């Protein structure tokens, strides 16, 4: 009898320990990372925009924390996502440029979460040229994806087209997965939004949402790029680079109505190997449907877009006969109206996610993060797009809510890099951070704990050149008060900006004798960051430039 009692006690203790482990698993928070594309921090009311409201992004910030100085290590879509997954700089994770194939077999934090008992998912835009590893479920857009009636690739490697608007579909798929997941495990999920990527196609209900607002030109809109050779050499201006037809939808052939010039281009392509062929209208329209952002619109969607862009916007453009600065200002206004209208659905769907968490009771133990893959120019310096180390593309939004842990209304002004995102998520999930991760968890900063040795510099390295926007590759550091950058291909030059005196980064003070001491100190700090990150390409170019 004693032996039986002993065995029963062991069994009981074993059961208790197992139950304790399950309770511990359940107490670890769920984590949702909402990652938008090209959504500028200055496009949100949380970061001070006075012309548009983003109530749901703001809600996360008000109920949690807002990072005031969150920067990226390489301001471009795919590399930013590779840095999120690995916690490493582009030169270490191997994904320096867009439209390459990310090495999914290297260590990524979702794999570590899986190994530590988390259920994982990625839904929406990934844009890394490979199917992800480390996710129990995924349903991702091929490449950049399209806004209307898009294809998705699921974890059975099936490509399926769905009817609807991409931002709404991503949320729907996320909710479906939440309903079917293993509820005995905590979960981590990335909601990868396509919005607000070029060509800025709003949801039908948001067409014209901001037509009654006249957006003022940014203070730097007519920047002459004085003493900044790389800025002179770029090709990303609203004036010369932004396209009336493809970007601003002026006589864009929406609804299958292809203009004659476009028709001849498609015929030329279809007959490139058979000059005597005569493509039919249906063949031309099928090709148009593959390549045009409007080619997937159904009859109802086409009518709504045609009524707005052809009958209203194109008609208005024709009647104005604009030239010179008036034309550039009109392009700027149309750009912002479409951009913000596209972002409206993004914020609305973030609200859907927050409401779902509230309605299911998940909100109490779920961390919600919203961030963009990088910053974006909304007319500053006359630009759209990103890429430069300058503030509007370097800085990105980051707000996070962690009920019961992060005090509502928290503001963090320390310098954060997106190499820090992965270790922070691992830290929140009580999962050890591997030594090879180059970032550092900023969870203590969110919890307002003293971190006396936090970084004073963030490191940056951009590579893509010459296409698509002719921005010279460069590396540099951003400190609290200064930016130092070395451009080394296309344009070879140094740039130095005093952010206290020149927050718009208009005056390159590199080489000025009165700044010689600061210049040398920043070069020493830059070299230290190059060595710490083991960036051999940058080290070679740095030493060559001395």
The predicted-structure confidence for 28-46, as pLDDT tens digits, reads as follows 999 999 999 999 999 999 9
- Token reading at 469: 């926007």
> Quick check: helix, strand or coil at residue 493?
strand
Rg of the chain over all Cα atoms, to the nearest angstrom: 25
Dist. CA 343–CA 195, nearest whole Å = 6
**What pLDDT does 15 receive?**
35
Distance (Å, whole) CA 487 – CA 545: 10
pTM given for the model: 0.91
Measured CA to CA, the distance from residue 478 to residue 469 in angstroms comes to 23
| Burial environment of residue 357 by CB neighbours within 10 A (0 to 12, 13 to 18, 19 or more) | buried
Give the pLDDT confidence score for residue 264 in this predicted structure. Answer: 85
Return the bridge partners of 478, or none.
458, 483
Respond yes or no on whether the N-terminal peptide bond of residue 92 is cis (omega within 30° of 0): no
The whole-number pLDDT of residue 22 equals: 37
In this prediction, residue 14 carries a pLDDT of: 37
Can you tell me whether residue 187 is helix, strand or coil? strand
Can you list the residues of the chain whose pLDDT is less than 70? 1-26, 255-258, 282, 285-291
Q: Which domains does the chain have, with CATH numbers?
A: 26-202+344-451 (3.40.720.10), 215-333 (no CATH), 462-545 (3.30.1120.10)
CA distance 493 to 495: 7
What are the start-end ranges of the H helices in 129-239? 166-180, 229-233
């Amino acid at each position: 009898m004693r032996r039986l009692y002993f065995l029963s006690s062991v069994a009981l203790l074993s059961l208790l320990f197992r139950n304790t482990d399950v309770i511990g698993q359940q107490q670890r928070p769920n984590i949702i990372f909402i990652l938008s594309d090209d959504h500028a921090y200055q496009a949100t009311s949380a970061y001070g925009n006075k012309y548009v409201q983003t109530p749901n992004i703001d809600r996360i910030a008000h109920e949690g924390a807002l990072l005031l100085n969150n920067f990226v290590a390489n301001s471009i879509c795919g590399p930013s996502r590779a840095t999120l997954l690995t916690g490493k700089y582009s030169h270490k994770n191997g994904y320096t440029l867009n439209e390459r194939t990310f090495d999914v077999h290297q260590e990524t934090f979702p794999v570590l979460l899986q190994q530590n008992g988390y259920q994982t998912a990625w839904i929406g835009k990934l844009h890394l040229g490979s199917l992800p590893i480390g996710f129990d479920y995924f349903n991702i857009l091929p490449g950049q994806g399209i806004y209307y009636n898009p294809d998705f690739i699921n974890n059975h490697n099936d490509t399926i087209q769905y009817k609807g608007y991409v931002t709404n579909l991503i949320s729907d798929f996320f909710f479906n997965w939440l309903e079917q997941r293993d509820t005995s495990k905590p979960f981590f999920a990335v909601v990868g939004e396509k919005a607000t990527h070029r060509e800025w196609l709003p949801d039908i209900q948001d067409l014209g949402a901001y037509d009654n607002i006249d957006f003022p030109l940014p203070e730097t809109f007519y920047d002459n790029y004085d003493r900044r050779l790389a800025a002179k050499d770029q090709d990303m201006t609203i004036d010369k680079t932004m396209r009336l037809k493809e970007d601003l939808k002026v006589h864009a052939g929406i609804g299958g109505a292809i203009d004659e010039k476009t028709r001849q281009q498609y015929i030329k392509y279809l007959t490139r190997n058979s000059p005597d062929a005569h493509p039919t209208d249906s063949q031309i329209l099928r090709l148009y449907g593959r390549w045009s952002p409007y080619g997937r619109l159904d009859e109802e969607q086409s009518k709504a877009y045609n009524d707005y862009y052809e009958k209203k916007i194109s008609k208005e453009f024709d009647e104005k006969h604009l030239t010179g600065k008036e034309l550039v200002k009109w392009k700027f206004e149309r750009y912002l109206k479409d951009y913000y209208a596209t972002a409206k659905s993004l914020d609305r769907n973030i609200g859907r996610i927050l409401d779902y968490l509230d309605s299911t009771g998940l909100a109490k133990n779920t961390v919600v993060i919203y961030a963009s893959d990088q910053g974006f120019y909304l007319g500053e310096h006359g630009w759209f797009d990103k890429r430069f180390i300058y503030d509007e593309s370097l800085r990105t939004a980051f707000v996070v809510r962690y009920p019961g842990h992060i005090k509502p209304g928290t503001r963090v002004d320390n310098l954060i890099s997106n190499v820090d995102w992965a270790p922070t998520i691992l830290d929140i999930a009580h999962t050890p951070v591997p030594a090879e991760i180059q970032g550092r968890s900023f969870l203590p900063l969110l919890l307002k704990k003293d971190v006396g040795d936090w970084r004073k510099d963030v490191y940056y390295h951009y590579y893509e050149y010459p296409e698509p926007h002719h921005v010279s590759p460069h590396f540099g550091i951003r400190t609290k008060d200064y930016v130092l950058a070395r451009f080394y291909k296309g344009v070879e030059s140094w740039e130095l900006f005093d952010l206290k005196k020149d927050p718009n980064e208009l005056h390159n003070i590199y080489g000025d004798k009165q700044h010689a001491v600061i210049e040398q100190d920043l070069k020493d700090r830059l070299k230290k960051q190059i060595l710490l990150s083991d960036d051999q390409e940058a080290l070679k170019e740095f030493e060559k430039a001395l």
